[in-house]
């Protein structure tokens, strides 16, 4: 087990109608003028925006709005938000949406308190040390950004997708009402399920020893996600299944399940190249990447075999005595699970081709202006990443 220091200051408010608490919470945490940030028209059509604005009015809070955050959110939107915050003297940012909106809110919050270019935090070696407070009203159970210090932004033009992480980016509060996810398209729900599962898998793939407690926490959350996936697919308005998935997504990425161990994150680093190139949803890209990454580990690393065999037996119900046979069966079980949700599992399904692989591998391993490796379980160079991309081909 690794040494650690862990603190999660985010205030969670969970349940029916909880978005009506937004104004009270902003005022409680010192906000006086709020930037309300959201994506498309669904927040307006559903009445969520009106309910939240009404709660701000009841709390006697001024506000301005910024609409138009896209999936795989763009740096240009962040710049627009920073300018608006400064011009309007905003002191609190309220994100209505999923990970893309929350990540954008975090970027704006950091950039508004920074004299330089906010991209320094994503494309370089800088880490935010100050930020405006951010609150969230979650509408998609997926990214866990409502409980994490992370933010992922894509640079316009180059389409480089980069991440920053800092404790100052942890949301001050997060409002989680499962009812807000009931009208999501089935594909978006499936992408979210894949994403939350991936956050657990990235933590599970670890070389840290004596991590039995967090192994069992991760496995339990994985089993909960698998159990609740089918009921949500069958009945999108199943509140209990939605509630369990929403809380599982938060628990998967709030840090508690992996605080005592080193993590991998190779699948995420590789997926960023996919979603930047083909504009595929993050969860869909992960469904393509994960089986290939795990297959590569089994091909080249003997230590991966018992780890993935344990996962196969404990989570995927594989009953094979031989570790390698069990591990490979577990990888196929994960691929089948993603496919059952309607996710792509091959590179061609998201628009990729054999001839794209060299540039995809190069982009994956090129960060901060220099070539390097990705992944915490195995350091993967450009050659290894190219091999992984080739394993995604049908």
Kindly report, residue by residue over 22-53, the tens digit of the pLDDT. Answer: 999 999 999 999 999 999 889 999 999 999 99
Does the pLDDT at position 159 exceed 90? no
Whole-model pTM? Answer: 0.95
Does the pLDDT at position 367 exceed 90? no
CA–CA distance, 19 with 30 (Å, rounded to integer): 18
When the candidates are 1.10.540.10, 3.40.50.300, 1.20.1090.10, 1.10.1760.20, the CATH number that belongs to 186-390 is: 1.20.1090.10
Is-contact 165 6, C-beta < 8 A? no
Burial (CB < 10 A; 0-12, 13-18, 19+), residue 379, is exposed
Nearest to 183 by CA among 43, 36, 50, 287: 43
Is-contact 21 13, C-beta < 8 A? yes
User: Angle at Cα 84 formed by Cα 78 and Cα 90, nearest 5°?
Assistant: 110
CB-CB neighbours of 193 under 10 Å: 27
H-state helical runs in the chain: 22-28, 42-45, 48-58, 75-88, 99-111, 120-123, 186-204, 212-234, 239-253, 266-278, 282-300, 304-314, 323-340, 357-365, 382-390
Mean pLDDT, residues 246-254: 98
Question: Does this chain's domain 11-181 share its CATH topology with 186-390?
Answer: no
b/e burial code for range 56-89 (CB count within 10 A of at least 16 → b):
beebebebeebeebebbbbbebbbbbbebbeeee
Nearest to 154 by CA among 221, 71, 64, 91: 71
SS3 53: helix
| Mean per-residue pLDDT of the chain | 96
CA–CA distance, 285 with 241 (Å, rounded to integer): 24
b/e burial code for range 228-248 (CB count within 10 A of at least 16 → b):
bbeebbeebebeebbbbbbbb
When the candidates are 3.40.50.1970, 3.40.50.300, 3.30.70.100, 3.40.50.720, the CATH number that belongs to 11-181 is: 3.40.50.1970
What is the per-residue pLDDT for 370? 56
Domain ranges in the chain are: 11-181, 186-390
pLDDT band at 366 (very low <50, low <70, confident <90, very high): confident
pLDDT band at 371 (very low <50, low <70, confident <90, very high): low
N- to C-terminal Cα separation, the chain: 39
Rg of the chain over Cα atoms, rounded to whole angstroms, equals: 20
> Using one digit for the tens of pLDDT, what is the confidence trace for 264-276?
999 999 999 999 8
């Amino acid at each position: 087990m690794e040494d650690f220091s862990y603190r999660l200051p985010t205030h969670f408010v969970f349940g029916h109608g909880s978005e009506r608490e937004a104004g009270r919470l902003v005022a409680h945490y010192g906000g006086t003028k709020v930037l309300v940030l959201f994506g498309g028209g669904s927040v307006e059509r559903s009445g969520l925006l009106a309910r939240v604005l009404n709660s701000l009015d009841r709390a006697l809070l001024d506000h301005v709005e910024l609409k138009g955050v896209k999936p795989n959110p763009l740096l240009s939107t962040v710049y627009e938000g920073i300018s608006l915050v400064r011009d309007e003297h905003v002191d609190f940012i309220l994100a209505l949406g999923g990970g893309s909106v929350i990540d954008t809110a975090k970027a704006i919050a950091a950039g508004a308190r920074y004299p330089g270019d906010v991209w320094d935090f994503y494309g370089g070696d800088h880490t935010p040390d100050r930020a405006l407070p951010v609150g969230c009203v979650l509408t998609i159970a997926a990214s866990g950004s409502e409980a994490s210090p992370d933010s992922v932004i894509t640079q316009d033009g180059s389409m480089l997708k980069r991440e920053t992480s800092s404790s100052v980016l942890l949301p001050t509060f997060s409002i989680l009402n499962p009812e807000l996810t009931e009208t999501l398209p089935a594909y978006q729900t499936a992408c979210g399920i894949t994403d939350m599962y991936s956050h657990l898998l990235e933590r599970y793939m670890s070389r840290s020893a004596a991590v039995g407690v967090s192994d069992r926490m991760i496995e339990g959350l994985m089993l909960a996600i698998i159990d609740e996936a089918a009921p949500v697919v069958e009945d999108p308005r199943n509140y209990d299944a939605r509630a369990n998935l929403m809380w599982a997504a938060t628990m998967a990425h709030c840090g508690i399940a992996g605080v005592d161990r080193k993590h991998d994150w190779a699948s995420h680093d590789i997926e960023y190249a996919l979603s930047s190139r083909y504009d595929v949803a993050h969860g869909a890209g992960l469904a393509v990447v994960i089986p290939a990454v795990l297959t590569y580990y089994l091909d080249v690393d003997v230590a991966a075999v018992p780890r993935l065999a344990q996962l196969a037996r404990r989570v995927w119900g594989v009953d094979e005595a031989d570790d390698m046979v069990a591990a490979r069966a577990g990888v196929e079980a994960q691929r089948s699970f993603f496919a059952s949700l309607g996710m792509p599992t091959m590179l061609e399904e998201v628009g990729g081709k054999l001839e794209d692989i060299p540039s995809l591998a190069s982009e994956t391993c090129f960060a901060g202006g220099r070539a390097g490796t990705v992944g915490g379980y195995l350091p993967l160079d450009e050659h290894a990443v190219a091999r992984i991309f080739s394993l995604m081909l049908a």
